[in-house]
Structure 1
Amino acid sequence: MFSSIVVFLTYLSTISLTIFLVLYVYFKYKNRYRDKCLASIPGPEPRYPLIGNIDLFRIPGVPLNECVYKTLVSLCRLYKNYGIYKISLGPQPVVVVFKHNLMDAIFSSNVHIEKSEQYKFLSDWLGDGLLLSTGAKWKGRRKLLTPAFHFKILDDFIPLMNAQTNIFLDKIKDMSTDRQYIDIREPIAQLTLDIICETAMGVQVGAQVGKNKPYVAAIHDLGEILMKRVFSPWIWPDVVFNRTPIGRTFCRSLNTLHSFTRNVINQKKQQFISNNDTKTTDQLTSDDNIYYSTNKKKKSMAFLDLLLEYHIKDNKLSLEDIREEVDTFMFEGHDTTSVSLGWSLYLLGLHREVQDKIHDELTAIFGDDIDNNQRDITAEDIQRMTYLECVLKESLRMYPSVPFIGRHLAEDCPVGDYVIPAGVDVFMIVEQMHYDSDVFPDPNHFRPERFQSDTTSSSSSSTTINAYNYVPFSAGPRGCIGKRFAVTEEKIILAKVCQNFYIESIEPLDSIQISAEMVFRAKSPLNVRFIPKTY
């Protein structure tokens, strides 16, 4: 009996080994051209066939999401002279590019618009919406949605942005009693959630008054889980991932997000059909966490209104199609903006001289009496905030909201002296590109003046700042559709804060822990003191 078992196990092992060797030879032969192209690209050799370079992204005692950032940056420094390197995530080769002259070919291309394989882990959340779709579907959706971001519609949102920012100002006044420091990450996230919901979605969610906190927490959870999954090949298969603790957390968070967005869509659909903006909260919903604005002024057709018109009148979109786009824009219009604002306020708190220049610009626009400083900011005011825009640009240079952009190459792509073969994923490290001293002299210092037109040309930089070496909103065909919305929102918030407060940050830059997830998030508190101004 025992000998029969030994014979069977020996036979099974031989068969398994044979299958493995056959598959190995097949894939090596199939990928011979790919491997030949990749051989010329520098990079660390993988230690294990199925694990690749995953071991590099694990540092004892350091959370994985922080390790990812530290490792990618250290490899960028190691291969600084090349501007490019390759790594293996499990069995998949990935090319990492971090020099602007090598990224141009990808950003400007109408062919290389497909997201990298790693984005597929977002599909359960965002579906096949504008962020993840490609080809004809992406082009069609982009064309459908572009009218929702027309400048005239965005101008209609400015009063709502003012109103929500005023709530934020009152809140931080209460939180900053006795000039204490406060961690601005959560209050800013609540503010941007209120703004995206009331403007693009046409609903009020009351995040700043304590409602819908689970939604914000769920987005943070999904960001951490995504990065852990990307750099853990053993949990790539859904059948494995869904049975792990983080897989179960993912499912709970996903249910929170989808429940929220479907509730918003269904209630907005009722309002759209009834075409009656003056109904009361009780008439519309029993859920007191989401209620409609009773502003009687007729609004232009915003994002969700446009989607519902395509659904109800033209039958171009299903409710699930709408859910995908709403989830996409709720994330992109809330989380990325809140991260950007957090970094901007923190950096201002380290640079009083920059605040003084903002103060001078705002005084030139509003005057120096308290009544003018308390009025709503208008579209004309925003256009005149040129130095404040430089501050925002410099903050986004140092801390771009989206630190990595991934693309899957549909065709071979020449980049410099290399050819990245079709079928390979490319990671473009935006944060490292923004620290290229050839474009941004003295890149480790916060200098908004580098974006002023009169100083850019006379800078010691040998390369002009342009759309392909400064990409906080991506670039090319897949550039961010909501860029103007985000810039308008952030300028209003920063201007109102600087009108009312001086800002002080306590921790130095090198003490802030950073986690590279879907967004460039500070994992340690961004403690800021708001000191009221007197007029």
Structure 2
Amino acid sequence: MLGVGISFVSLSLIICLIFGGLVVLRPLFKTWQLISQLPGPKSHPLFGHAFQLEREANAFFMQIMRWTQNHRHFGLFRIWLGFLPCVLTFKAESVEPILKSNKHITKSYMYTFLHPWLGTGLLTSTGSKWQTRRKMLTPTFHFKILNDFMDVFNEQAEILVTNLEQKADGTQFNVFFLLTACVLDIICETAMGESVNAQSDMENEYVKAVLKLSELLQERQKSPWLWPDFIYNRLSSGKQHAECLRILHGMTIRVIEKHGAELREQLAKQKAEGAVSSAEPRNIGKRKRLAFLDLLLYMQNEDPSFTIDDIREEVDTFMFEGHDTTAAAANWAMYMLGSNPEAQKRLHEELDSVFGGSDRPVTTDDFKDLKYLECVVKETLRLFPSVPIFGRTADKTLSLNGCEIPEGTQAFVLTYALHRDERYFPEPEKFNPERFLPENSVDRHPFAYVPFSAGPRNCIGQRFAMFEEKVILAHIFRKFKAEAVQEFEDLKIHGEIVLRPSAGIEIKLTKRK
């Protein structure tokens, strides 16, 4: 009887395990059935496409573009990263349901690899935390505050022009790192109120850490075997990752502590003097302007639940989002203008009509008259969107092109391909800034052009980025003529976190007479 009892218990346990397994696996099987109905390249049953993905950045980008071309008529395709289903879309009609909805605001799983650096700030957070942060931070990008940042844009652009004058003899040189250093100095000063002097010291450890960490993140995102922290942290790349974080977080924390101490001292002095606290944030210490960090410190003074860690998250996020993206965009604009003499001539004429021969700073009022410059920036971002792919997690079942996309699927928007839809951009490979004149943009689908994303999670800093790039380009092309010397195929585009040329942009620069 005892043996029979044990056998019955064993059988019951086996039945329970089988039933439990079926309960767990059923939704996974349904997901597999639905996703497998979508077009896409063949995959391995266990690893999906993980081992098929090219490791080298340019080869990876070209591979994704080939798959896009293979499925251009359907407008989307699917791949698997291990057991993680991914749908990649590049038609305005299938992009709209992803970006427009308030139901799909959770960022893709791939953004979790940014958490060690950025925490869960505005870029990576979701739900109520994201909604609270978005509402809190929106005023920090108010027009008045951006107008104050114009001083920084102009000052750093003038340093860049001085550096370019030494190169403006008609010989070939790589402009990529000069532009990148200028943007890094701008973002450090506007975000933290501190200069790293990148334009004079590209060997600065903070500069090198930013560049290295971006490279490490790109490699990890497409390699599922590097996803588990207990594996990654023991590898040489994981140790480099940790060292970069030590440098980046170390500087951010030091600056926060310094600015925080200065603010507390200033507020204590005001209180001792019986001064009434101003509702408007004022310059702290000896600095002549407020930085993004100072605005956050004022917020913390009003609401202590907004912690120092919260401030660090948002400062690091501003640094991450505002550096590589704008640097890449400015470089691509140099290349496109250097490759299109007629467009460059028209820009020169516009700049001359606004500034004459003066060296005065660019103002926000000038932007009203720099309409062609804005078209140049927008057309460059169409051809070379700084973020070539961004993703969401489907928080609910999603319908794309009449197909049911199950909850939990990673939905990616391929902006590089989206912006080349012939229905909305005839001759899509042609650089034609005039297509962004108001009269030529009237009937365009609102989700056919999304360089700063769109919908509720659009980029909060897009006006900052546009102002910054226009100031930099205005300073350069008031002084110089540029000639690009590379063929497009020689640029070998890296299209992962940020779209950029693998070896920079080679140009010839001459002074305008």
The question of a shared fold, defined as TM-score above 0.5 by the shorter chain, is answered with yes
Corresponding residue for residue 310 of structure 2: 321
Corresponding residue for residue 254 of structure 1: 245
CA distance in 2, matches of 1:244, 1:93: 27
Please report the RMSD computed on the Cα atoms of aligned residues, expressed in angstroms: 2.3
Q: Give the SS at the match of 1:57.
A: coil
The alignment status of 1:33 with 2:30, answered yes or no, reads yes
> Does the 8 Å contact 2:169/2:509 carry over to 1?
no
CA distance in 2, matches of 1:102, 1:111: 15
Following superposition of structure 1 onto structure 2, how do residues 230-269 of structure 1 map, counting pairs within 5 Å? 230-269=221-260
How much has 1:177 moved relative to structure 2? 5.2
Following superposition of structure 1 onto structure 2, how do residues 274-423 of structure 1 map, counting pairs within 5 Å? 274-275=265-266, 297=288, 299=289, 302-367=291-356, 370=357, 372=358, 374-423=359-408
Q: Give the SS at the match of 2:328.
A: helix
Corresponding residue for residue 82 of structure 1: 74
Q: Give the SS at the match of 2:51.
A: helix
Corresponding residue for residue 12 of structure 1: none
Q: Mind listing any 5+ residue stretches in structure 2 that lack a counterpart?
A: 1-14, 268-282
Cα distance change, pair 179–137 in 1 and its aligned pair in 2 (3 A) = same
Following superposition of structure 1 onto structure 2, how do residues 175-194 of structure 1 map, counting pairs within 5 Å? 176=167, 178-194=169-185
Corresponding residue for residue 229 of structure 1: 220
CA distance in 1, matches of 2:360, 2:404: 56
Structure 1 stretch 82-91 or stretch 207-216: which is displaced more? 207-216
CA distance in 1, matches of 2:349, 2:168: 26
Following superposition of structure 1 onto structure 2, how do residues 523-534 of structure 1 map, counting pairs within 5 Å? 523-534=502-513
Corresponding residue for residue 11 of structure 2: none
The alignment status of 1:104 with 2:96, answered yes or no, reads yes
> Does the 8 Å contact 2:168/2:508 carry over to 1?
no
CA distance in 1, matches of 2:465, 2:128: 27
Corresponding residue for residue 430 of structure 2: 445
Cα distance change, pair 20–354 in 1 and its aligned pair in 2 (3 A) = farther
> Does the 8 Å contact 1:113/1:134 carry over to 2?
yes
> Does the 8 Å contact 1:382/1:492 carry over to 2?
no
Corresponding residue for residue 166 of structure 1: 158
How much has 1:26 moved relative to structure 2? 5.8
Question: CA-to-partner distance for each residue in 1:59-115, whole Å, 9 max, x for gaps?
Answer: xxxx53223212211110111111111111112111111111101011111110101
Q: Mind listing any 5+ residue stretches in structure 1 that lack a counterpart?
A: 1-17, 277-291, 458-463
> Does the 8 Å contact 1:205/1:211 carry over to 2?
no
TM-score, length-scaled by structure 2: 0.90
The alignment status of 1:486 with 2:477, answered yes or no, reads no
CA distance in 2, matches of 1:221, 1:417: 42
Cα distance change, pair 432–122 in 1 and its aligned pair in 2 (3 A) = same
How much has 1:21 moved relative to structure 2? 9.5
Cα distance change, pair 251–532 in 1 and its aligned pair in 2 (3 A) = same
Cα distance change, pair 383–349 in 1 and its aligned pair in 2 (3 A) = same
Q: How many residues align?
A: 484
Identical amino acids, percent of aligned pairs: 38
Corresponding residue for residue 286 of structure 1: none
Cα distance change, pair 319–106 in 1 and its aligned pair in 2 (3 A) = same
Question: CA-to-partner distance for each residue in 1:393-438, whole Å, 9 max, x for gaps?
Answer: 0110111111111100110111121121111111111111011111
Question: CA-to-partner distance for each residue in 1:201-232, whole Å, 9 max, x for gaps?
Answer: 22233221216732232222222222222222
Corresponding residue for residue 487 of structure 2: 508
Residue identity in the other structure for 2:410: D
> Does the 8 Å contact 1:405/1:429 carry over to 2?
yes
> Does the 8 Å contact 1:399/1:431 carry over to 2?
yes
CA distance in 1, matches of 2:139, 2:28: 44
Residue identity in the other structure for 2:104: H
Corresponding residue for residue 4 of structure 1: none
Question: CA-to-partner distance for each residue in 1:286-345, whole Å, 9 max, x for gaps?
Answer: xxxxxx998775x4x542112112223420311111111111001111111111101111
Q: Give the SS at the match of 2:510.
A: strand
Residue identity in the other structure for 2:506: N
Corresponding residue for residue 147 of structure 1: 139
Which of 57, 62, 74 is equivalent to 2:53?
A: 57
CA distance in 1, matches of 2:212, 2:287: 38
